[in-house]
Amino acid sequence: MSTIDSVNRLKRSAGILLHPTSLWTSYGIGDFGPSARDFIQYLKRAGQSFWQMLPLGPTGYLDSPYQCISAFAGNPLLISPEELVELNLISKKEAINCLEDENGRIKWSMSESVQYAHVRIAKYRILQIAYDNLYPSEDASIAANLSKEREGLIKEFDEFCSAQFYWLNDFVLYFSLKQLHDLKSWVEWEKKYRNRDEIALEKWRSTHESELHFLKFIQWIFQRQWNALLKYAHEHGVKIIGDMPIFVAHDSADVWVHRDIFTLNEDGSLLYQAGVPPDYFSKTGQLWGNPLYDWENLKKLKYSWWIDRFKRYSELADWIRVDHFRGFEAYWRVKGDAVNAINGEWIKGPGISLFNAIEKKLGNLQILAENLGIITPEVEKLRLKYNYPGMYVLHFAFTGDTTSPHLPFNFKSPYNFAYTGTHDNNTTLGWWQEDATDGEKQYFNTYLNRGMKGITEEMIQLSYKSTAIVAMVPIQDVLNQSAKFRMNTPSVPDGNWIYRVPMLGLDENKAKWLRFLAETYGRL
């Protein structure tokens, strides 16, 4: 099947943007358990075809899913304790007891925002008990008294380790050494570990087998629960849109292992770093701190790391939203020690060379290109060559510039996704109350011939009535929430990624209304 055929398989439909961490559970953070299945049922009742998520990798700096410590591993915090109870690997009482802080209190788990410090401690306690119950002896081999059920789980675990060895062994070794160094970045480790002295690494492997095995267990449980959730979504007519950041975190297993494919100084520090010039979100640009790729060397290596990465993501989701797609055509290069992103330069990326290599190895992939920001004709030419759908964001549409590509009457092709806003935007209500200028408000009112009520509903309806093949709405807009509930504020380091759906749950009246919109505008 050609890429064009793949895109044309899309029908008019709609979806909701919600990261699983935002689902309400009694464990302080959303996960792949009952709350996720309940949300899939909600999507079905609301006439939705897609669930879009943020990256699912293990978070590092400031808990950002766009700064993961691995491009291949899963986030342990998304593992459901309820599902572990179902497997008889931990009792419900044991799991609840793991929520207690040093004072024996668990009130933090009921907070209106995710308390990552508490969540991380609790989840690892739970996972350690589950692992110890799967392997009750000190030896990490199958004990003679294990039940057939447990023998089956261990066999499944071993098969996972064999299938994912190409990234798994390096990741668990990296994370084990990161713990040894008090979670410091690998560039601050002892020289023998920082520079991957093989004798030192082999000694560490041989003396820490149990710890490394436990870390592999965590990744297997993540994969097992995710596979079950993905299957459940498909059974209920919902497809998953994953999210692949173009760059990886400097402090990551990928950079530690593959220094030859990144632009680094000899000591591992950043020679150059990624970002974007001044834009809608920041007058000084955005400085991301990610290392840039050595595309020349990657090409010599036939893009093998990228092919493995796309392969992995294609296993996790039906569609892959590629963040900052424009960086494949040209990327903003800033010096490694820069304090802002103003003084950078555009450098040509790999372009068709990379995507030809990916398609040759993996065939046609379902890719959604995030084509926001400074988009040139060359970027659009690259996207359209492979017929990847792009994105329109209605928050950007009403500046008074009638040539704005985000205005519905300027949508060049129906094979694009229309968003009210993204995870980086304010909520629609927050945009209206805090960000929109008087001119934007006047133009929006004129455009829709509306009064001054129901801005969020109007914006959602506008995305549904547009020609875009998919209308995508963040959960905060579905619930008509204010700026207080936005997921992320670019260039502001604190207070991001902590949003939780209210404990009272999702609004069933909103589900009925979304279904009505889907019926009205041909999106069922």
Handedness of CA 513, 516, 521, 524 (dihedral sign): positive
The answer to whether residues 199 and 326 belong to one domain is no
Closest CA to 392 of 375, 370, 374: 370
- pLDDT for 407: 96
Q: Which of these is catalytic: 63, 83, 254, 370?
A: 370
Nearest 5°: the CA angle 473, 476, 481 is: 135
Amino acid identity, position 149: E
Residue pair 282/205 in contact by the 8 Å Cβ criterion: no
Contacts of 259 (CB under 8 A, 6+ apart): 268
Could you tell me the residue range of the domain that residue 301 belongs to? 258-387
Other CB atoms within a 10 A radius of the CB of residue 329 amount to 22
- pLDDT for 149: 86
Tell me the angle at which helices 304-316 and 352-362 cross, rounded to the nearest 10 degrees.
60
The answer to whether residues 146 and 213 belong to one domain is yes
Within a domain: 488: no
Specify the residue for token string 């017929």.
387
Within a domain: 411: yes
Residue pair 372/393 in contact by the 8 Å Cβ criterion: yes
Closest CA to 304 of 360, 365, 252, 376: 360
The answer to whether residues 408 and 347 belong to one domain is no
- pLDDT for 6: 46
The answer to whether residues 87 and 174 belong to one domain is yes
Specify the residue for token string 């424009």.
326
- pLDDT for 227: 98
Contacts of 417 (CB under 8 A, 6+ apart): 368, 389, 390, 391, 392, 468, 469, 470, 471, 472
Helix, strand or coil, per DSSP, at residue 472: strand
Within a domain: 516: yes
The answer to whether residues 145 and 227 belong to one domain is yes
DSSP string for 126-179: HHHHHHHHHS-SSSSS--TT--HHHHHHHHHHHHHHHHTHHHHHHHHHHHHHHH
Q: What is the CATH number of the domain that holds 93?
A: 3.20.20.80
424 part of the active site: yes
Domain boundary among 387, 413, 430: 387
CA 176 to CA 158: how far, in whole Å?
A: 20
The answer to whether residues 275 and 192 belong to one domain is no
- pLDDT for 1: 35
Within a domain: 443: yes
Q: Which of these is catalytic: 323, 440, 458, 477?
A: 323
323 part of the active site: yes
The answer to whether residues 196 and 83 belong to one domain is yes
| 51 phi/psi in degrees, rounded to 5 | -115, 110
Within a domain: 360: yes
The answer to whether residues 343 and 207 belong to one domain is no
Q: Which of these is catalytic: 31, 170, 424, 477?
A: 424
Contacts of 382 (CB under 8 A, 6+ apart): 328, 329, 351, 352, 355
Please state, in angstroms and as integers, the Cα–Cα distance from residue 473 to each residue in 12, 397, 414, 491, following that order. 14, 16, 17, 23
- pLDDT for 280: 75
Regarding beta strands 345-348 and 286-291, do their DSSP bridges make them parallel or antiparallel, or are they unpaired? unpaired
- pLDDT for 3: 43
Residue pair 320/367 in contact by the 8 Å Cβ criterion: yes
Domain boundary among 354, 387, 420: 387
Regarding beta strands 345-348 and 330-335, do their DSSP bridges make them parallel or antiparallel, or are they unpaired? antiparallel
Other CB atoms within a 10 A radius of the CB of residue 118 amount to 21
Residue pair 30/21 in contact by the 8 Å Cβ criterion: yes
Count of domains forming the chain? 3
Extended beta strands in 172-300, E state: 239-244, 272-276, 286-291
Domain boundary among 236, 271, 286: 236
The answer to whether residues 355 and 437 belong to one domain is no
HSE of 520 in the Cβ direction (CA atoms, 13 Å)?
A: 13
Amino acid identity, position 504: L
Question: What is the pTM (predicted TM-score) of this model?
Answer: 0.93
The answer to whether residues 230 and 275 belong to one domain is no
Within a domain: 357: yes
Residues of the chain with pLDDT under 50: 1-7, 140, 142-143
Within a domain: 249: no
Specify the residue for token string 């996207």.
383
Give alpha helix (H) positions in 12-111. 34-45, 81-86, 92-97
- pLDDT for 146: 62
Within a domain: 309: yes
The answer to whether residues 275 and 378 belong to one domain is yes
The answer to whether residues 362 and 445 belong to one domain is no
